[in-house]
Amino acid sequence: MKGFIFDLDGVITDTAKYHYEAWRNLGEKLGITVDEKFNEQLKGISRMDSLDRILALGNKENEYSLYEKKQLAAEKNAYYLNLLQGLGPDDLLSGVKEFLMAAQERNIPCAIASASKNAPLILEKLDVNDYFEAIVDPASLAKGKPHPEIFIRAAQLIGIEATEAIGFEDAQAGVDGIKACGMFAVGIEVDEPLIGVDISVNSFCDLDIDKLLEIQRNRHTA
Ligand code: BG6
Ligand code: MG
């Protein structure tokens, strides 16, 4: 048995840049500079945890009540959703559609392990829902990335062991979660290098699905 487990933002589509823009915008209103380097720490992290990190960056973690923080998070999400308005099938990252089709031809189940509550909406806009047997509901999890829970759950949902799956990630928190449950990690590296990945590529165009399966199989039996 085999299976593929995908992060969404920055792996399937380049929504990571919209998250960054939306956080930067909120940061500006709060007087906190969210730059590209700091944004790396927000990748893979839930909406509320990201907000907490931004407030801590500006030493403002004790200035807002939970109610106010929920309002700020909702404000960021509204801005983000506005940026997503034009999102469509053309916004799939290079090679993703071909890779999903190749997985489907080989009857290899695919799942989404994303911290994003917007994942179902985004997959619908990209018109790739049919390629995924399961989408983990991040609201059902006790712990976010880098904890491996989301990847273990995704593997369960497609009926395989975590060690049988190959996980795809663009964020260090995600790679750490994948490796913490013994899963094979493919890093989609665009900006910062990812530590601990088994293979790293710039895009799905650089991946040959059969070679990848062979490498993972050899690693598993070595
Ligand atoms: C992750 C992104 O996939 O989802 C984070 O890498 C984002 O940047 C998180 O904050 C939560 O997303 P959302 O869509 O629920 O706000
Ligand atoms: Mg990501």
Cis peptide before 109 (omega within 30 of 0): no
| Ligand 1 atom nearest residue 73's Cα | 16
Identify which of 85, 52, 83, 53 has the alpha carbon closest to the alpha carbon of residue 69. Answer: 52
Active-site position among 9, 170, 176, 198: 9
- The predicted model scores a pTM of 0.96
Ranges of each domain in the chain: 3-14+90-221, 15-84
Indicate if ipTM > 0.90: yes
Residue of 8, 15, 40, 45 best suited for mutating to test ligand 1, as the one with most atoms within 8 Å of CB: 45
182-200 pLDDT, tens digit each: 999 999 998 789 999 999 9
Reply yes or no on whether 7 is catalytic.
yes
What does the pLDDT read at residue 222? Answer: 58
Q: Which residues lie with the beta carbon below 6 Å from any ligand 1 atom?
A: 8-9, 16, 19, 42-47, 50, 77, 114-118, 171
Atom of ligand 1 nearest to the CA of 170: 6
- Name the residue with the closest Cα to ligand 1, atom 13: 116
Paired tokens of 184: 């094979």
Rounded to a whole number of angstroms, the distance between the first and last alpha carbons of the chain is: 17
Q: Which burial class, exposed, middle or buried, applies to 73 when counting CB atoms under 10 A from its CB (0-12, 13-18, 19+)? A: middle
**How many whole angstroms from its chain centre is CA 158?**
18
pLDDT at 221 over 90: no
Q: 167: which 2 tokens?
A: 């996980």
Centre of ligand 2 from the C-alpha of residue 105, in Å: 26
Q: Across residues 92-112, what is the average pLDDT? A: 98
Say if 3-14+90-221 and 15-84 have the same CATH topology. no
Annotation says 170 is catalytic: no
188-to-36, 172, 202 alpha-carbon distances in Å: 17, 10, 5
Please give the CATH superfamily to which domain 3-14+90-221 belongs.
HAD superfamily/HAD-like (3.40.50.1000)
Q: Cα(166) to centroid of ligand 1, in Å? A: 21
Q: Which residue, 8, 222, 217, is CA-closest to 110? A: 8
Q: Which CATH superfamily is 15-84 part of? A: Putative phosphatase; domain 2 (1.10.150.240)
